[in-house]
Structure 1
Amino acid sequence: MDQGGRSAGEPAVTIDQIAAGLRELGLDRASTVLVHSSLSAFGHVDGGAEAVAGALVDVCGTVVVPADTWDATGLPAPPGLERPWNAYWNAATWAEHDEAVDRAAAFAPDLPVDREMGAVPEAVRLGHPHLRTTHPLKGFVATGERAADVVGVQTLDDPLAPIDAVAEAGGDVLLLGVGHTSSTTIHLAEQRLGRGRFHRYAKVGPGAWAELPNIPGESHRFDELEPALRPRTREVRVGRARLRRTSVADVLGAARAAVVADPLALLCDDAGCRCAAAWHGQEPVAPTG
């Protein structure tokens, strides 16, 4: 295997092949997509993350990618501030908290996207004209026709609002080599259903920090929605990667149906996990009529 992750004799994936795969999914210049991705899932890609980003921007009218900045801006909770079922850690002393504030960066539009989001969102940010939300932790980057509509709706107390904007545009969740555990849209469904939300902490300026509400929880059981979503999903393979397209409306509907049928759906039973905190903080779910 070479340094690019290609096995002997395995052809490289090209930008044209990725673009062809996206078009095979039915995407075009009228499409608005919320993209979650893994570059390594493709195998070796000529041009790397920039090629994947370029294919997305060339094919789709509006491309939205997660752009979290927790690695740079995130902080522990200050000592003594404990919200019920918040599932987070506190600095032991104010001195420890102040040191964390000093080390952290305040949000700025040129902060890199967290590596956990994958390499493609950062390639979109660096390589294409875009707009970016200003939430200190839970961000999005959008490029294309509807970018302003998507980015403009986010507020500090509604970090997932851009997903609503994608839904209103008739948009899709696009999974490139990743599973539903990467799908932030399912978190939006949980929040609409009254499932517990979390407070988190970030640096917002020189020596200044803020508590930020309505941050989503765990996602490690979200692939349990796969059977319900499969009939509503279009799928192709490019290189080694599964490319899956499902409408945001269908993802929200499947998640709602699962939680209405079982209030513990998509949550694990580990008492030490944020799943337990989300369950204890959950409001009753009203069944659909």
Structure 2
Amino acid sequence: MTGVVTEAEIAEGLGSLGLDSTSSVLVHASLRSFGRVEGGPEAVCRALLGTCGTVMMVSGTWEQTGVPAPPGLVRPQNTYYNAASWAAFDEELENAVPFTPDLPVDPWLGRIAEVMRLGFAHERSTHPLFSFLAVGTHARQLIEAQRLEWPLGPIDALAELGGHVLLLGVGHTSNTTIHLAEQRLGRSRFYRYAKVAPQAWAELPNVSGASHTFDEIEPELRPVTAEVRIGDCRARLIAVEDVLSCATRLIVADPAALLCEDRDCRCGAALEQRLAVLRG
């Protein structure tokens, strides 16, 4: 393990990847991966914003707003649990909260995204489960690209800007852009449910599924990946279009690419969705 990592060292590492004020990035990050950061997550945020023109992060609220599927509502190839009864569903609904722009980012997405929300002027989308936040030049353009029926729209917009995926101490299992490639091919398009107002819930389409085998894409992306070490953090930068092209090529060649073999997993349902598209 290295010593303390400073904000300046983080900025220097980001610059060595080729990032500058013209860069737009979707960041997936682990604070712990750096080792000890002088200034904590705020320093990481400042380094990102001081280096890049636009920074976007996933800021989902699944754990707070999500509810099970109601009793009896079963969509084909959806692999989601139903409440055991309407009484149980109503209890889950009561315990959930509707999305608001000041709702905290779910902890599993990491401290850096939450500190970005708390400490920096940002734009945030309003999807009840899967919001994004963005700061910088193109923030509003990216956030406005999200629609309820197409949650990953901000990544579409980032691709149009020639943007990049920045992985800071995390693997491709966190690389949401791979899900966009899947969904363009009719795979990993699930229905999920969220509280949207007191005593009101909504069914939301095209929510992405499992990603636990996405690290299998790494050898294919290695030729187009820039990589440096920042403290203990393995930092990788890949163009969004390169991620999309690579994942698309793999899935077109093999409908089961980047999925596990457990047919009871969401991977099995995602495969069936893709096969249904191929059958027409």
State the TM-score, normalizing by the size of structure 2.
0.97
Local SS of the residue matching 1:68: coil
The aligned counterpart of 2:133 is: 141
- Give the C-alpha shift of residue 128 in structure 1: 0.7
The aligned counterpart of 1:169 is: 161
The aligned counterpart of 1:247 is: 239
Q: 2: CA distance between counterparts of 1:214 and 1:284? A: 15
Note the residue ranges of structure 2 that are not aligned, 5 or more in a row: none
Q: 2: CA distance between counterparts of 1:46 and 1:147? A: 27
> Which of 210, 213, 225 matches 2:202?
210
Please tell me whether the aligned partners of residues 179 and 188 of structure 2 are also in contact (alpha carbons under 8 angstroms).
no
**Residue 106 (str. 1) matches residue 98 (str. 2):** yes
Pair 18,113 (structure 1): closer, same or farther in 2 beyond 3 Å: same
Equivalent position amino acid for 2:23 in 1: S
> Which of 182, 185, 190 matches 1:190?
182
- Give the C-alpha shift of residue 86 in structure 1: 0.6
Percent identity over the alignment is 58
Q: 1: CA distance between counterparts of 2:187 and 2:147? A: 20
Question: How big is each residue's C-alpha offset from its partner over 1:33-58, in whole Å with a ceiling of 9 and x where there is no partner?
Answer: 00001110111111111111111011
Question: How big is each residue's C-alpha offset from its partner over 1:74-133, in whole Å with a ceiling of 9 and x where there is no partner?
Answer: 001000100011110000111111111111110000000011111111111111110000
Pair 196,26 (structure 1): closer, same or farther in 2 beyond 3 Å: closer
The aligned counterpart of 1:72 is: 64
- Give the C-alpha shift of residue 21 in structure 1: 0.3
Q: 1: CA distance between counterparts of 2:9 and 2:188? A: 42
The aligned counterpart of 1:36 is: 28
Q: 2: CA distance between counterparts of 1:263 and 1:109? A: 37
The aligned counterpart of 2:43 is: 51
Please tell me whether the aligned partners of residues 193 and 285 of structure 1 are also in contact (alpha carbons under 8 angstroms).
no
Q: 2: CA distance between counterparts of 1:268 and 1:53? A: 34
Q: How many correspondences in the alignment? A: 278
Q: 2: CA distance between counterparts of 1:122 and 1:151? A: 17
Please tell me whether the aligned partners of residues 5 and 38 of structure 2 are also in contact (alpha carbons under 8 angstroms).
yes
The aligned counterpart of 1:3 is: none
RMSD over aligned Cα atoms: 1.1
Q: 2: CA distance between counterparts of 1:15 and 1:193? A: 40
Describe how 1:118-133 pairs up with structure 2 within 5 A: 118-133=110-125
The aligned counterpart of 2:18 is: 26
Equivalent position amino acid for 1:211 in 2: E
Equivalent position amino acid for 2:137 in 1: E
- Give the C-alpha shift of residue 154 in structure 1: 0.7
Q: 2: CA distance between counterparts of 1:30 and 1:196? A: 32
Please tell me whether the aligned partners of residues 26 and 56 of structure 2 are also in contact (alpha carbons under 8 angstroms).
yes
Q: 2: CA distance between counterparts of 1:64 and 1:196? A: 22
- Give the C-alpha shift of residue 196 in structure 1: 4.0
- Give the C-alpha shift of residue 247 in structure 1: 0.2
The aligned counterpart of 1:271 is: 263
> Which of 89, 99, 102 matches 1:97?
89
Q: 1: CA distance between counterparts of 2:109 and 2:44? A: 14
Q: 2: CA distance between counterparts of 1:93 and 1:75? A: 13
Please tell me whether the aligned partners of residues 188 and 207 of structure 2 are also in contact (alpha carbons under 8 angstroms).
no
Please tell me whether the aligned partners of residues 77 and 89 of structure 1 are also in contact (alpha carbons under 8 angstroms).
yes
Q: 2: CA distance between counterparts of 1:125 and 1:82? A: 35
Note the residue ranges of structure 1 that are not aligned, 5 or more in a row: 1-6
State the TM-score, normalizing by the size of structure 1.
0.94
> Which of 137, 141, 145 matches 1:153?
145
Q: 1: CA distance between counterparts of 2:93 and 2:264? A: 27
